[in-house]
Amino acid sequence: MGVRDLVGGQLVKIASAKLTVNSAATSAFDFGTPNDINLAAASGAPGYGYRAGDRLLLVVTSTTAGTTNAISISVQDADDSSGSIGTPATALTDGTFTGGTGDRQFVSMIQVQPGRPWIRVNATGVGTTDTHVLTAVVYAVPRGGL
């Protein structure tokens, strides 16, 4: 049984982004203007986009030819500040996003908090030897799904 079967075919992609990390620094995924995910803007007609009460499924894939440097993922949520992201803080997720070297996949549910409609996904590289190419996809999961 696939994920779509588990959620009755209602899994909806609301954002995706690609990021290259080749330094010992933290970089945010750019999901398009305004870079972070604004769940209010990701709302749509029933069955399309994010709806209040949905959870979020985050899938991040990291590929690298290297075997030296690790990569980790962090998720933040934030309040709204006049249509822009407010003050980010660690989001509630159901897993940790630290990983070893080589190709990695990170999968976790994100619990959306009241009054915090902004989501930011970051990748942190360790070292400067390897280049990691990451893809992040965020799906809305309707109530009762997964």
Q: Residue 76: its pLDDT value, please?
A: 96
Q: What is the pLDDT along the chain (146 residues), one digit of tens a residue?
A: 444 445 555 788 999 999 999 999 999 999 988 899 999 888 765 556 888 888 899 999 999 998 888 889 999 999 999 999 999 999 999 877 776 778 889 999 999 999 999 999 999 998 888 999 999 999 998 876 55
**In the block, which residue shows the tokens 């870079």?**
35
For the chain, which domains are there?
3-141 (2.60.120)
Using DSSP bridges, classify how beta strands 104-111 and 92-93 pair: parallel, antiparallel or unpaired.
antiparallel
Q: 23-35: string of b/e by CB count within 10 Å (b at 16+)? A: eeeeebbebeeee
pTM of the model: 0.87
